[in-house]
Structure 1
Amino acid sequence: MLDMKNSGTGTRSNLGLAGFLLVLVAALGAQAQPPSSTLPGRKPDSKEPWGAFLGKAAHYAIGGEYRVQHPSNRVFLDTSLSTIVKRGKLGDPERLSKFVGLLRPDITDTRLLVLFEIKPDDEESRSKGREQVGRYLAALTEAVEPDKKLTGGTGFEGALFLEFENGGALWKLSWRTPEPGVTLYRWSYRRKKPGASWNERAAQKEEELPREEVEQRGELAEQAIRAAHEGGERPKGFQGQVYLPADCH
């Protein structure tokens, strides 16, 4: 395997041991928008851009992996600030205005008192993530007890791999947290190489995930990642394998 670094609280804490996290989708030009009738994993009348669709899959996978890495913590994913303050027993949610209380950080850990905003790995998105984290923290300062003040989380990084068939196309979702609270992700791709070892796969040139790959396998990817997190069966037609960070040491 590759050598890698490495609430909902208890019910999903054994996800990393379940064996397989199934599948992922990819980072392409955020402005691309093919005809809605051909978009895999979406409703026929959806007008949502590709970037938004693929971003949701990344958020789902990264948030789930944070829970795996912190099984005993109280972790909230995409949850409103008012709910976090109330259920996390941090303070008085009534101190939040109605609008501010609806803001939703991507990951909030009320045991470690940290939060994260997940964004694509580019400068514009990074700047936006920084602004959002600042807004969340400022709002929470008004509502939480002095000894329960939250900060931007650090040190959260990792990667997930999806291999289609033996030696098939290899997809990778990787993420890092280069500044407090801002977790950046990117998708990448390695071409088919049947019969290759993991060391050989790791040594292959890393490329941008081709659009045709997303169109062909996007539906399987979205279905499988959710099935893995929710304990469901693999989607029909998926013959590959997915490797979590823990599987790659």
Structure 2
Amino acid sequence: MLARREHGTGARSIGGLAVFLLVLLATLGAHAQPPSFTLPGRKLDSREPWGAFLGKAAHTALGIEYRVQHPTSRVFLDPANLSRIVREGRLGDPERLAEFVRLLRPDITDTRLLVLFEVKPDNEESRDEGREQAGRYLAALNAAVDPDKKLTGGTGFQGALFLEFENGGALWQLSWRTPEPGVTLYRWNYRRKKPNASWKERAAQKAEELPLEEIKQRGELAEQAIRAAYEGGERPAGFQGQVYLPVDCR
């Protein structure tokens, strides 16, 4: 009996230690998560990183800007999937798409010019990822579309816009380029405050990396302000500045 009791006590001790370690690991994991994973302007329980927030703003701007530059094209933006693009873009029979690719979603697809773009942050890792994804989308589409409607990677899509959050205050720039067919890379940067200077004077200043504090303070307004500028809607509450679209920057 004594041996059994000792065995039982040992088992309980090991079990208690395991529970303690699990709780400790969970606690450490919770503290290890960066506070910047709370996204302003989104749902309170959002777990997206700041980079994803600025990525959404960039995707919004580039998608709308592409449509502005190509008003006679039929342009599909994410979340339109390949099945919808083939069907509504009149490229062929969507049933010819392999089932496992039908829900893939390219960032920008122009079914008049028959080109496709994948939008990524401007760094080598993302560029490689964009190249791989654009190639995968094109292969899937071109295996299903009519022979005279094959798509290629788009080229020549580039530009910049500025957000001025207050007179002479923070000036953000979103710029993009397409260094290879089908891959458009975007970059956010920042100009320091310079009271009583025009936005063009400040745009000529040295570009700096966008500070995290700036993103925390103003990030929730960026996508809303850009969309309102393109669509002619009301400015978001708290936005006292201007958006200078690519047509203003030329």
| Bin for the TM-score computed over the shorter chain | 0.7 to 0.9
Match of 1:173 in 2: 174
Equivalenced residue count is 217
With normalisation by structure 2, the TM-score equals 0.83
Match of 1:68 in 2: 68
Can you list the C-alpha shifts for 1:109-158, whole angstroms capped at 9, x where unaligned?
A: 00000000000000000000000111011111111111100000000000
* Identity, % of aligned positions: 81
**1:78-227 pair list within 5 angstroms:** 78=78, 79-227=80-228
CA distance in 1, matches of 2:177, 2:36: 33
Match of 1:12 in 2: none
Partner of 1:45, secondary structure, is coil
CA distance in 1, matches of 2:216, 2:203: 24
Can you list the C-alpha shifts for 1:79-127, whole angstroms capped at 9, x where unaligned?
A: 1011000001001100112220111100000000000000000000000
**Relative CO higher for 1 or 2, CA cutoff 8 Å, sep ≥ 6?**
1
Match of 1:59 in 2: 59
The answer to whether the 8 A contact 2:36-2:50 is kept is: no
Can you list the C-alpha shifts for 1:146-174, whole angstroms capped at 9, x where unaligned?
A: 11000000000000101121111110000
Structure whose alpha-carbon radius of gyration is higher: 2
CA distance in 1, matches of 2:108, 2:207: 28
The answer to whether the 8 A contact 2:160-2:249 is kept is: no
With normalisation by structure 1, the TM-score equals 0.83
Residues 33 and 92 of structure 1, relative CA distance in 2, 3 Å threshold = farther
Q: For structure 1, which runs of at least 5 residues remain unmatched after alignment? A: 1-31
Q: Give the Å deviation of 1:196.
A: 1.2
Match of 2:237 in 1: 236
CA distance in 2, matches of 1:106, 1:199: 30
Can you list the C-alpha shifts for 1:12-42, whole angstroms capped at 9, x where unaligned?
A: xxxxxxxxxxxxxxxxxxxx84255x53112
The answer to whether the 8 A contact 1:118-1:183 is kept is: yes
CA distance in 2, matches of 1:107, 1:33: 32
The answer to whether the 8 A contact 2:156-2:178 is kept is: yes
CA distance in 1, matches of 2:96, 2:237: 49
Q: Give the Å deviation of 1:199.
A: 4.5
Q: Kindly report structure 1 stretches of 4+ aligned residues shifted beyond 4 Å.
A: none
Can you list the C-alpha shifts for 1:165-206, whole angstroms capped at 9, x where unaligned?
A: 111111000000000000000000000011113442132111
Partner of 1:183, secondary structure, is strand
CA distance in 2, matches of 1:230, 1:156: 21
CA distance in 2, matches of 1:35, 1:113: 39
Can you list the C-alpha shifts for 1:46-105, whole angstroms capped at 9, x where unaligned?
A: 111222222111101111100010111100001101100000100110011222011110
Match of 1:77 in 2: 77
Are residue 42 (structure 1) and residue 51 (structure 2) matched? no
Q: For structure 2, which runs of at least 5 residues remain unmatched after alignment? A: 1-32
Residues 231 and 198 of structure 1, relative CA distance in 2, 3 Å threshold = closer
The answer to whether the 8 A contact 2:39-2:53 is kept is: no
- Match for 1:51: what amino acid? G
Partner of 2:109, secondary structure, is strand
The answer to whether the 8 A contact 2:75-2:109 is kept is: yes
